[in-house]
Structure 1
Amino acid sequence: MKPSLISVLLVVCISVFSCQTKNDKVIQLKPKEFNQFLKSNPQLIDVRTPKEFNLEHIVNAQNKNYFAEDFSTLIEELDKEQPVFIYCRSGKRSGKSITKFLNAGFTNIYELEGGILNWKDKGFKTNKK
């Protein structure tokens, strides 16, 4: 029997000890751990503005603008049964968006610590236009 993605994620987080938990449904990951999870092609959501997203973003990310009036509707389009990985520029918007993801019914939320700035600072690549 193949382990589920959620089981693998939890085991890795527990073994790494570098994960920080905001609550039992949200795990904050350092760039290295966040990158490991991206290999399974999860729901990756960039909550920055379309202008920021179009300049550069993490490969395979979808843009759902936190400042959009219909942000809550936009995230309703996502699969709540699957883990969601979110990031922004520095971690402020993604941190604020967590409440909206929780209110929408998401139960497995992973946030990139320090946003795309920390991601790039640690040497990870982005899609640049």
Structure 2
Amino acid sequence: MKTIFLLIGIFLMVACQSKTETTSIDSVNDVERIDFNDENNVLLDVRTPEEFQAGSIPNAVNIDYNSPEFDSLIKDLDPNKTYYVYCQGGVRSTKACTKLDEIGLKNVVNLKDGYKDYKK
């Protein structure tokens, strides 16, 4: 009987642990509701530096997903902040969000329609 209660207790502990989840926002224009002057909200542009220089969403920080340094750069990100991630159309931001999840960032939002939607 003690074994059953022990197993149930272990199961509940594992089941109740918080897991990293990536949320998606259908329209990148929804970012207008978010206060990026709040240092806890980071708008992360994962396009190339050339794409970023050609135009970006105001207050965005650029870390190129295709850069060989991407994995090492994201390890320096503050796990207590919320990251709103976008690229041109959603492919790189989805992949970047997966990597952010893998390193343990808990607050990751994929702006899945990307910069092309923002420019409309």
| TM-score bracket for the superposition, by shorter chain length | 0.7 to 0.9
Residue 38 of structure 1, CA deviation:
3.8
Whether the 8 Å CA contact 2:23–2:108 is kept in 1: the answer is: yes
Q: Which residue of 2 aligns with 1:104?
A: 103
Unmatched tracts of structure 2, length 5 or more: 1-18
Residue 34 of structure 1, CA deviation:
2.1
Larger RCO: Structure 1 or Structure 2 (Cα < 8 Å, ≥ 6 residues apart)? Answer: 2
CA-based RMSD: 1.7
Structure of greater Rg: 2
Q: Which residue of 1 aligns with 2:5?
A: none
- 2:57 paired with 1:58: yes
Paired residue type of 1:60:
N
Runs (4+) of structure 1 moved beyond 4 Å?
none
Residue 39 of structure 1, CA deviation:
4.5
Inter-partner Cα distance in structure 2 for 1:58 and 1:77:
22
Residue 40 of structure 1, CA deviation:
4.8
- 2:20 paired with 1:27: no
Secondary structure of residue in 2 paired with 1:34 = helix
User: What is the TM-score normalised by the length of structure 2?
Assistant: 0.75
Residue 61 of structure 1, CA deviation:
0.6
Paired residue type of 2:24:
Q
Paired residue type of 1:100:
K
Identity score, percent: 31
